Chain A
Amino acid sequence: MSSITGASVASQFPGDGPSGRSNIEGDSATSRRIGDRIFAGASRGAGLLVIALVTLIGVFLLAQAIPALLKDQASFLTSREWAPGGDAPRFGIVELLWTTVASSAIAMVIAVPFGVAVALFITQYAPRWLKRTAASLVDLLAAVPSIVYGLWAALTFRSLISPVEGGLQDVLGWFPLFSPTGISGGTIFFIGIVLSIMVLPIVTALSREVFDQTPVTHKEGALALGATRWEMIRTAVLPFGRPGVISASMLALGRALGETIAVTFLVSKLADNTPWTFSLFNGGETFASRIANNAAEFDTPAKTGAYIAAGLVLFVLTFIVNAIARVVIERRKAFSE
């Protein structure tokens, strides 16, 4: 009985077995069988293949990006210009970085609490006949293609969100994050909300699996000590599921950072020389949408290199976020009985 959190039955009985090997390895009769060795080899091969793939992608990105970065006349990390063509290219990614991070952050702030709440409802509160239906419905959200999300958001959802944005700008306009801008189409706020709907099923599906794995004895113990249902969830289910929920959030964040088609459909590009603002109601392109929008213009290697450098920044950003998540999970590895 192993779970996403990494605990397993075998790890509950550490130490040596009768043949002197540790229990996890089994006895010598089983480990020299041809089937075992093929399976072990195939697993090892698959793991190595995945690692090699990720490494090669990283190497490809670096190799294409470095010549373009060397030619860049403007500071890559702080410049707002984007003119990668010609003999003196000037490009910088600070606007792209802000838009991508801000829209993904909004998506996470909305999707994670919602997703965890839906998962808790499905596993702890829902009657049995509703569990399966609700689970299938939420999984259906993941089956909708992203272009359909883009179309729906542009045609229908936009008119629902406009009054909300207007209200926020009127009431909280003094706060720099909500200051009014002239943009009415694809604001960071709007794109963040659409992204949250797209990543919600990921968070829900994985959290649901983790919450289902909560040891029944923990839950029964909490209830026996007089906890209400919510207190039982807070003390037994949520701490057990925290690493799983963090994994789910990281997957969802990866999707939100890299989402291309829906964002390309909705985004409003800013005119050159628009003054910088931290407002969430500003327009702007994300890394993925700028690369997708300009994919037809990759004529010279230098210009292509500039866009690949932008892709490299996205790759590094996702890598860093995932690494932080891994560290958090390792520190809080599930407790066993």
Chain B
Amino acid sequence: MRTSRALAVGAVALTGALALSACGSDNNNGGASGSGGAGGASTGGASAAAASCFSGKLNGEGSTAQKNAIEAAIKAYQTACSDATINYNATGSGAGIKQFTGKQVDFAGSDSALKTDEAAAAKTACGSDAWNLPMVAGPIAIAYNVKGVTNLVLNADVAAKIFNGVVTTWNDPAITALNSGASLSATPIKVFFRSDESGTTENFTNYLKAAAPSAWTAAPAKKWTGQGEGKEKSAGVSSAVASTDGGITYTEWSYVAQNKLSMAKIDTGSGTPVELTGATAGKAIVAAKQVGTGNDLSLKLDYATKQAGTYPIVLVTYNIVCSKYADAAKGTAVKGFLTSFASDSTQSGLEELGYAPLPKEVQSKVLTAVGAVS
């Protein structure tokens, strides 16, 4: 009796140890790449990062949309600066802002700029104005999984009707009108939405309301107001669509490739349907207007744009910082990290992760603003 019990316990322990050894990040190469910035990969505009290393810890929290991007930026920065430790907790834009105004974290990641009351709370917490600095442009893809269909074209009106539950089968006349070549069957459309309060939902409903106001009447908000089934976080909705024939959802570009889904081309009325690429998404950012004053770079995107070759559904993630930190060392640390984040070397590496690199005009404004943080 004892032997088989011992064997069973041993087997469980071994399995547990093996499973747990798979956990853990691969940031361990930070220490091995030599001290100082000499060994780090610094080119061009990123050479400033090597000079502005800090030693200590920096804490950020917020948007899940920029999670992959900021993790890559952290890895690059920590490789170059081995004494710095940066933690980013992707709990959602709402949670990040609350932690920032509660002085629990040094910067917040949010998919929408601070609203008036949030900005006032942040100003009180910082003792100075809070700035919204766009760092990551994440296009939102309309991802679908329909057997035998790879080249779906949608426009804002039809998309709004699908996500509102008005259009319920894939061979509805509204969809076949835009897709004359494709063979669509009577498979029911299964809509999946984000069940948590999400900046992605807010940006997507912003697009639907701006581009199709007659079909989408609900006010844009972090909470979903359409129809469908709710799943948790982008990972949940993406894997749900991947395992459901006829599923459709809105999610970040990076999750589409990960789950092997197809993306819809958007017909904006500009002539040819626009496919989502880094370049087409970048054009939407260039066309955006700055509504913040001075170094506060909150942008107003034009979702109803009819410009050729512009993908309209883009999400900009801001990193929200204090313009002047009470602790000067924190200010230096934030400045150093965000300069590296906005630099060419980091931004160009984001495209393979599913983000659009910041266009040059916006990037130079961001670098100026980061330089003014103290």
Contacts and interface: CB of A to CB of B under 8 A. Distances in A.
Interface string B218-239: 0000001111111110001001
A150 to B, nearest CB: 11
A238 interface: no
Interface stretch (B4-12, B127-135, B153-161): B4-12
B98 A283 contact: no
A212 interface: no
Interface centre among A143, A270, A296 (most CB of B within 10 A): A296
Interface stretch (B175-183, B185-193, B294-302, B349-357): B185-193
Contacts of A183: 229
11 contacts: A136-B5, A154-B239, A154-B243, A185-B192, A185-B244, A271-B165, A271-B230, A283-B230, A293-B196, A296-B92, A296-B196
A139 B92 contact: no
The 9 closest A-B pairs by CB, nearest first: A269-B230, A269-B195, A296-B95, A136-B8, A268-B229, A271-B227, A132-B4, A296-B91, A184-B244
Q: Classify chain B: how many residues form its interface, as a range.
A: 20 to 34
B239 A268 contact: no
B248 to A, nearest CB: 12
A114 interface: no
A71 interface: no
A294 B232 CA distance: 10
A159 B5 contact: no
A185 B231 contact: yes
A143 B19 CA distance: 13
Given A158-B243, A297-B94, A185 B229 contact: yes
Contacts, number: 74
Nearest to B92: A296
Q: Classify chain A: how many residues form its interface, as a range.
A: 20 to 34
A284 B188 CA distance: 20
Nearest to B3: A132
Contact of B4 (A133, A143, A269): A133
B53 interface: no
Interface string B233-260: 0001001100110010000000000000
A337 interface: no
A333 to B, nearest CB: 31
A182 B188 contact: yes
A66 B4 CA distance: 52
A268 B229 CA distance: 5
B197 interface: yes
Nearest to A269: B230
Interface of A: 132-133, 136-137, 139-140, 143, 154-155, 158-159, 182-186, 264-265, 267-272, 274, 283, 285, 293-294, 296-297, 299
B231 A269 contact: yes
B232 A264 contact: yes
A155 B11 CA distance: 24
Contact of A140 (B8, B94, B226): B8
Given A264-B232, A270-B229, A283-B229, A140 B12 contact: yes
A70 to B, nearest CB: 24
B80 to A, nearest CB: 32
Interface in B189-214: 190, 192-193, 195-197
A294 B223 CA distance: 12
Given A159-B243, A269-B231, A299-B98, A139 B8 contact: yes
A184 B5 contact: no
B193 to A, nearest CB: 7
Contacts of A297: 94-95, 197
B208 to A, nearest CB: 15
A268 B95 contact: no
Interface in B11-35: 11-12
Nearest to A274: B227
Nearest to B193: A271
Nearest to B225: A272
